[in-house]
């Protein structure tokens, strides 16, 4: 199992500092928030993309994923459909240029009828799948907002039926959805790209906490992860754990930097304690 962290925990931090944190704390990868207020986003030119890729390679750190904000199950008119398709294309191309194996998207169905929203999401993901396959990228639908459980996400991913479209398991949202970790994993296993871990005090207080300091069933989540089928990139599915510490949205939370090494150690202890099958 390999470890990554999200730049949501260090908003706006220059890449050299992000890479220094990763190396100092023993993380092999970084999930980059792909937003214009961050150093990496789809408006970067080719020279800048090459420089980012070289910087990560020199540091020996993987760009695990680009965390996009596209909502594939949302309602869109004709212009919105075209805009979404363009954004998905640009996100995949950026990931390919940076050597990132994954791109993250949201469902975002809101209060739309489930069948209609899920059919739209499957169609939109299916449309970008050939490009993703050609570029060696997997587009991952995160368990989030309108589709926070594994069962919810699987209703979209099953009909797509393409190896370059998969799932990102955000353990907070499946827990908030009342789904047992074993059931989430069973639903997502055929699609799983990687797992986002985090910890919070309660369903009412989701301020990020150090791993192990809150109520999320991280031990049960990690126990559910076993050797799964190979993904489109040839890697074992679910072979990455990414700590998404959402300080960007909770400025009062502790700084992430001093928590990184203890958080990685906590995850390793949980992995080592898993029952042997």
Q: Would you say residue 80 lies in a domain?
A: yes
Q: Where are the beta strands (DSSP E) in 175-233?
A: 192-197
Q: For 102-110, what is the mean pLDDT?
A: 98
Q: Is the pLDDT of residue 32 over 70?
A: yes
Query: Which of 101-115, 157-171, 235-249 shows the lowest per-residue confidence on average (mean pLDDT)?
Result: 235-249
Q: CB of 238 within 8 A of CB of 229? A: no
Q: CB of 32 within 8 A of CB of 268? A: no
pLDDT of residue 105: 98
Q: 116: helix, coil or strand?
A: helix
pTM of the model: 0.95
Cα atoms in the Cβ-side hemisphere of radius 13 Å centred on 42: 14
Dist CA 122 CA 70 (whole Å) = 14
Q: Would you say residue 53 lies in a domain?
A: yes
What integer best gives the mean pLDDT of the chain?
94
Q: Would you say residue 51 lies in a domain?
A: yes
Q: CB of 214 within 8 A of CB of 199? A: yes
Query: Which pair of structure tokens corresponds to residue 6?
Result: 């999200």
Dist CA 41 CA 60 (whole Å) = 21
Q: Is the pLDDT of residue 153 over 50?
A: yes
Q: Would you say residue 162 lies in a domain?
A: yes
Q: 140: helix, coil or strand?
A: strand
Q: Would you say residue 277 lies in a domain?
A: no
Q: Would you say residue 157 lies in a domain?
A: yes
Categorize the per-residue pLDDT at 249 as very low, low, confident or very high, splitting at 50, 70 and 90.
Answer: very high
List of residues 6+ apart from 248 with CB closer than 8 A: 8, 9, 11, 33
CATH of the domain at 147: 3.20.20.150
Categorize the per-residue pLDDT at 238 as very low, low, confident or very high, splitting at 50, 70 and 90.
Answer: low
Q: CB of 247 within 8 A of CB of 8? A: yes
The residue among 48, 142, 72, 157 whose CA lies nearest residue 102 is: 142
- Reported as type and span, the H/E element at residue 181 is helix 181-188
Categorize the per-residue pLDDT at 275 as very low, low, confident or very high, splitting at 50, 70 and 90.
Answer: confident
Q: Is the pLDDT of residue 232 over 50?
A: no
- Our count of domains for the chain comes to 1
Q: Would you say residue 27 lies in a domain?
A: yes
Range of the domain at 8: 2-272
Q: Would you say residue 203 lies in a domain?
A: yes
pLDDT of residue 233: 38
């Amino acid at each position: 199992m390999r470890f990554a962290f999200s730049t949501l925990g260090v908003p706006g931090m220059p890449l050299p500092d992000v890479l220094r944190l990763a190396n100092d704390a023993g993380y092999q990868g970084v999930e980059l928030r792909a937003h214009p207020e961050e150093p990496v986003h789809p408006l970067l030119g080719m020279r800048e993309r090459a420089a980012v890729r070289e910087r990560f390679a020199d540091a020996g750190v993987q760009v695990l994923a680009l965390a996009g904000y596209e909502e594939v199950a949302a309602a869109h008119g004709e212009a919105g459909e075209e805009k979404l398709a363009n954004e998905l294309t640009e996100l995949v191309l950026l990931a390919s240029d940076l050597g990132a194996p994954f791109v993250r998207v949201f469902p975002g169905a809101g209060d739309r009828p489930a069948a209609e929203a899920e059919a739209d999401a499957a169609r939109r993901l299916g449309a970008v799948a050939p490009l993703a396959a050609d570029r060696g990228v997997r587009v991952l639908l995160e368990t989030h907002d309108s589709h926070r459980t594994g069962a919810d996400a699987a209703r979209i991913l099953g009909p797509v039926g393409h190896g370059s479209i998969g799932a990102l398991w955000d353990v907070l949202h499946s827990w908030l959805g009342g789904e047992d970790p074993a059931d989430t994993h069973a639903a997502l296993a055929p699609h799983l790209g990687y797992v986002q871990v985090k910890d919070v005090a309660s369903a009412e207080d989701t301020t990020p906490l150090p791993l192990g300091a809150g109520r999320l069933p991280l031990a049960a989540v990690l126990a559910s992860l076993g050797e799964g089928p190979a993904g489109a990139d040839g890697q074992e599915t679910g072979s990455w754990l990414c700590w998404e510490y959402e300080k960007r949205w909770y400025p009062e939370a502790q700084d992430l930097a001093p928590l990184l090494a203890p958080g990685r150690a906590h995850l390793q202890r949980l992995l080592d304690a898993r029952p042997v099958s």
